[in-house]
Structures are given as structure tokens and as C-alpha cells.
Amino acid sequence: MLIHIKNMVCDRCKMIVGQQLESLGFTVKLVALGQAEVTPEPTEEQLQMIAANLKVSGFELISKEMDKTVEAIKNVVVELVHHSDLSEIKVSYSDLIASKLGKDYAHLSRLFSNSQDTTIERFIIGQKVEKIKELLEYGELNLNEIAYQMGYSSSAHLSAQFKSITGLTPSQYKTNKFKSRKSLDRL
């Protein structure tokens, strides 16, 4: 049975979910962002037990089709922004999301906006800003390199978007003692 899970944003999340499901006696066939496949098929009582165990670690089971789709959109965006080289992406985010989910982007966009009170585009920008904060804190890349890696046309474009979201320029953020990064599942 394929179980859909909210708030899975990284490899560590996949590991934790897999371990929790195995500790409940299930054989885990697959764990991916937002889902896990287990055998045998859990009963309703076991699903409630899974939900309670996952909730302790900040995860939630998803049962509504709309929620599954919204979570799938979030997982595609997180995978793109945090685990891909955006400089290599040659198609629009909307085309990429639509093709990955096999659905019309206009439908996905409406669904996401109605559910999340923000647009997919704003969600992508928020994810990119958090990734930029991370890269700035590492200090391994200069702003031009970060802009290139994150798929921006220039460091000026990155800086303008970063400031519109955070209220700080990237250099102000870098020198600020009190960094304000958000966890990916809170965006």
C-alpha cells in the first residue's frame, strides 16, 4: 500500500519515516519524498497507529486527493530547489511541475493557491530564498556563483528578490548575527 505523508523534505525525513514504519512491523518497499510503500496493507487501526507515530516526528498522513496533490507539488519544488542544480534547468518551473505530476499546470496552480493561500511561484521563491540563506551561511560561494547555481539571470536579480522577501540584502543577511532560516516544512 502506498501511504502519502506530509512534511517530508529531505533524505533524513525518508530515513526516519522508514525506520518508524519498520519499527511498527511493516516491510518498507519504498520511501520517497511524500510517500512510503509498505506491506502488508495496514488496517484502519494500524493507519491510526502509523499516523500517531509519524506525528511525533512532525509528519502527517494525507488522505484527501487534493492534499496529496498539493504535497506532491511541494515535494517537486523542494527536490528542484534544494537537490538540483537550477542552472541546468532549461524549461519553466510550471512546465517541469506539470510534467512531473502529469497534470495541467493551470489546474495545479488553482489547487495549490486555494489550499495554501499563496501561489506556486511565491512558494518557489520562498524555497529559493531559504536555499540562498543556506549558501550564504556556508560562505563557500560568492553572490555571482550563488546566483548562477540558483538559476538567476544575475546577482542583481537575486539580490532584489532576496531583499523583497527578507527585507535585507544578501550581504546584510550574511553579516547579521541573528540568522533567520526557516525549516523547509514551515514554508
HEC readout, 57-87: CCCEEECCHHHHHHHHHHHHHHHHHHHCCHH
Are 34 and 119 found together in one domain? Answer: no
Are 115 and 174 found together in one domain? Answer: yes
Last residue of a domain, one of 46, 63, 80: 63
Q: Which helix (H) or strand (E) holds 12?
A: helix 11-23
- pLDDT at residue 187 in the model: 56
Are 53 and 90 found together in one domain? Answer: no
* pLDDT tens for each residue of 22-75: 999 999 999 998 899 999 999 989 998 999 999 999 998 888 888 899 999 999
- pLDDT at residue 186 in the model: 62
Residue 9 has pLDDT above 90, yes or no: no
SS3 145: helix
- pLDDT at residue 27 in the model: 96
Are 23 and 95 found together in one domain? Answer: no
Q: Which residue has the higher pLDDT, 151 or 182?
A: 151
- pLDDT at residue 162 in the model: 96
Range with the lowest mean pLDDT among 11-15, 56-60, 174-178? 174-178
Residue 178 has pLDDT above 90, yes or no: no
d(CA 179, CA 172): 10
Are 7 and 94 found together in one domain? Answer: no
Are 185 and 95 found together in one domain? Answer: yes
> At 181, is the pLDDT very low, low, confident or very high (cuts 50, 70, 90)?
low
* pLDDT tens for each residue of 89-121: 888 999 999 999 999 999 999 999 988 989 999
Are 73 and 7 found together in one domain? Answer: no
Are 73 and 105 found together in one domain? Answer: yes
Residue for cell digits 509528519? 59
SS3 32: strand
Are 76 and 56 found together in one domain? Answer: no
Structural domain of 28: 2-63
How many structural domains are present in the chain?
A: 2
- pLDDT at residue 182 in the model: 65
Mean pLDDT, the chain, as a whole number?
91
CATH number for the domain that contains residue 77: 1.10.10.60
